[in-house]
Amino acid sequence: MVERQRGPVVVDRGVEVPVPADGEVWVVGAVILNRQGRAFAQRRSPDRRLFPGCWDIVGGHVEPGESLMAALAREVEEETGWRLRRVRALLGTGSWTGDDGGGPRREADYLVEVDGDLDHPALEWSKHTDYGWFGAEDLPRLKAGRAPAEHFIHDLIATALGSKS
């Protein structure tokens, strides 16, 4: 378990949690499912430097000296007002380089459970313009206006939903 101010975060047995090496920049992401099994996504504002106007999962950069689980808990709370309760699965890790000059990043994305009012996320409205809950039938919306190489969020949520749409 990872301790936070508001209580423990349970990490299920077998869930890999990488430890960043010195000099590595890491990003964490959380696919959050509601009671109906739909995944939460939020649309990045059009003035964001990285991925403007794209649908995205909750997450962000790991601060220097911060563990991946601490960063995941912090990002969930900052971006939604919810509290990370449980990390169920590692959905995948990868590497990417944005067009923001920030250099290469490593990313770990997790399927998680949260506590809070899922009907009323406390979005950072300066960074996001919309949100939604996506089931398998909604997945095409995550591809709208994106080139095939930009379907990462669609593919990640489809994996979390167990769908091939």
Range of the domain at 69: 2-9+24-161
Say how far apart CA 135 and CA 114 lie, in whole Å.
18
CATH of the domain at 57: 3.90.79.10
Is 14 a member of any domain?
A: no
Is 17 a member of any domain?
A: no
Q: Is the pLDDT of residue 4 over 60?
A: no
For the segment 58-68, the average pLDDT, to the nearest whole number, is 94
Q: Is the pLDDT of residue 17 over 80?
A: yes
Region of 7 please: left (phi>0), alpha (psi -120 to 50) or beta. Answer: left
List 112's β-bridge partners, or say none.
32, 87
Contacts of residue 99, defined as CB under 8 A and 6 or more positions apart, other chains included, come to 50
Is 69 a member of any domain?
A: yes
Domain count, the chain: 1
Is 19 a member of any domain?
A: no
State pLDDT tens for residues 93-129.
999 887 667 778 899 999 999 999 999 999 988 898 9
Helices (H), the chain: 68-80, 152-161
pLDDT at 163: 58
Is 51 a member of any domain?
A: yes
Q: Is the pLDDT of residue 16 over 80?
A: yes
Is 15 a member of any domain?
A: no
pLDDT at 125: 87
pLDDT at 103: 78
For the segment 71-89, the average pLDDT, to the nearest whole number, is 97
